[in-house]
Amino acid sequence: MYKQRAETKSRVIHKIQADQIQRREMMLEFAARAYELEKGKRPKSAADLVPDYLKAVPKDPVTGKEMGLGP
């Protein structure tokens, strides 16, 4: 029973982290698009979006490192 609970907890934590990553990536993409529409060019990095479009660069919930923009 303990093993089953531990596996369930692990799956739930993984799902929560995956959802957080997806939301944060979407937030970055929306901010990058707003930047692009306003300035006519894509931002070079996520840091370019702070503070006008984001309060801070989102962090990856798994690694704790700042997330970057996709291509």
Could you tell me the pTM of the whole model? 0.84
- Report CA torsion sign: 71, 18, 22, 59: negative
Number of folded domains that form the chain: 1
CA distance 53 to 2: 45
List average pLDDT for each run of 10 residues in the chain, which is 71 residues long.
89 96 96 97 96 95 91 73
* Burial of 1 per CB tally in 10 Å (0-12, 13-18, 19+): exposed
Q: Which domain holds residue 31?
A: 1-71
Q: What is the pLDDT of residue 70?
A: 79
Residues 6+ apart with CB under 8 A from 27: 54, 58
